[in-house]
Amino acid sequence: MKKIIAILSLMFLIAVPAMAQETAHDETVDVKGIIFGHLKDSYHWHIITIGEKEISLHLPVILYSKVTGWHFFSSRELEHTGSYEDFHITNDGAHAGKLVETLPDGTELKPLDLSLTKIALAVIINSLLLCVIVMCTARWYRRHSATDPAPGGFVGLMEYVIAMIVDDVIKPSVGKDYKRYTPLLLTIFFFILLSNIMGLIPIFPAGANVTGNIAITLSLALVTFFTVNVFGNREYWKEILWPDVPIFLKAPIPLLPFIEIVGIFTKPFALTVRLFANITAGHAIILSLTCVIFITAKMGPFIGTPMTVLSVFFMIFMNFLELLVAYIQAYVFTMLSAVFIGLSRPEEHHEPDGAKANAKANVDNSLTT
């Protein structure tokens, strides 16, 4: 370990002054551009720049405009000018970085953007990877019986994680018919975990900021939202619309029902923002630390070298921290989803008033006698 650190440090000591000279001619480092360029979605997937040559994956752009209908073209068309036909990428406003259409009368219109963007492609790659991983694991189980010795290696790891999530998160949070929700919650957990980890690997086909994109986290939260509210039982809706509280809190002005209904929507909102903010922050910090190298390198080798070493150590630390965060956020999202599902299926309350209890007792008596 000590040897590796020594070699790394040496590499940077040699490399940084050289890089410093190279970048010294360039204009100032666009930290904001680098960070937001990574955090945000884009129409192409930049893989690497070798010298002057940029290697990137051009993805298909699919647009539906209310005025001019469907448009398909490659993002290669946008490479130099940032515009194609009537479409161009705006730099400001709510849709910065997105394609907008300039109508003949000069107004700008945001079309329905169904482009296979970097994030969308990353989602597909992650989904395929997730399927491959889980199906490979499942294949082992299809070929073995319960009396065989427990699996080792990767299958054993998967089983350990699955068993842990099921036993520690899903079973206690959801309650009695947890088995119905186990596959869904496991899918959510592994999708988030895999996307988080893939986001930390900097090379193609990983490296896209999937779970740091609010559309993705919103989609995941929507899945939870629909699961909670579609499969919620009568008791759940009763607790929302007619909760068990003093009558003045709900009768003339539906105060508590109002709060409860707001709560239905704040739950997925909290899920959305929590995952998005955590992953975005992590990526932003790591990228900032990377940028430190290039900023200080301009200040000459005497400042640049120690700052580079420091920055690399911080980056290693942050990467480990982000690995932890990747797991924790997947865990928390799954746990909260499980808790919300559990809350949507409360058990029937025991009626406190004596009349019903007596009636039930009478029925029981008549049944037994």
Partner 1 sequence: MDLLIPEVGTIIWMLIAAGIVFFILVKWGFPIITRMVDERNEYIDKSLDAAKKANERLAGIQNECDELLKETRAEKARILKEATDRRDEIIAEAENRAKESGEKLIADAREQIRLEKEEALRSLRRQVAELSVQVAERVVLKELSTDEDQLLLIDRMIDDVKTEK
Q: Is 124 in the site for partner 1 (CB under 8 A)?
A: yes
- Contact indicator for 298, 26 with CB cutoff of 8 Å: no
The CA distance from 75 to 89, in Å, is: 11
Q: Which is nearer to partner 1, 272 or 305 (CB)?
A: 272
Number of Cβ within a 10 Å radius of residue 14: 11
Piece of the chain touching partner 1 by CB under 8 A; list 77-85, 114-122, 313-321, 330-338: 114-122
Q: Is 138 in the site for partner 1 (CB under 8 A)?
A: yes
Q: What is the DSSP string of 241-301?
A: HS-SS-GGGTSSS-HHHHHHHHHHHHHHHHHHHHHHHHHHHHHHHHHHHHHHHHHHHTT-H
Q: Which is nearer to partner 1, 141 or 314 (CB)?
A: 141
The CA distance from 119 to 35, in Å, is: 16
Which of these, 292, 290, 316, lies nearest to 303 by C-alpha position? 292
The CA distance from 332 to 326, in Å, is: 10
CB of 155 to partner 1, least distance (A): 9
Residue 129, token pair as written in the block: 């990877």
Piece of the chain touching partner 1 by CB under 8 A; list 70-78, 137-145, 252-260, 360-368: 137-145
Q: Is 230 in the site for partner 1 (CB under 8 A)?
A: no
Among 1, 4, 50, 94, binds partner 1 (CB under 8 A): 94
Q: Is 41 in the site for partner 1 (CB under 8 A)?
A: yes
Q: Is 337 in the site for partner 1 (CB under 8 A)?
A: no
Q: Is 204 in the site for partner 1 (CB under 8 A)?
A: no
Q: What is the DSSP letter of 176?
A: T
Q: What is the DSSP letter of 43?
A: S
CB of 29 to partner 1, least distance (A): 20
Pairing mode of beta strands 83-84, 87-89: antiparallel
Q: Is 33 in the site for partner 1 (CB under 8 A)?
A: no
One-letter amino acid for residue 349 of the chain? H
SS3 53: strand
Q: Is 183 in the site for partner 1 (CB under 8 A)?
A: yes
Among 5, 10, 26, 93, binds partner 1 (CB under 8 A): 93
Q: Is 171 in the site for partner 1 (CB under 8 A)?
A: no
The CA distance from 78 to 174, in Å, is: 48
Residues that bind partner 1 in the complex, under the rule CB under 8 A? 36, 39-41, 62, 93-98, 112-117, 119-120, 123-124, 127, 130-131, 134-135, 137-138, 141-142, 144, 146-147, 150, 158-159, 162-163, 166, 179, 182-184, 186-187, 191, 213-216, 218-220, 222-223, 280
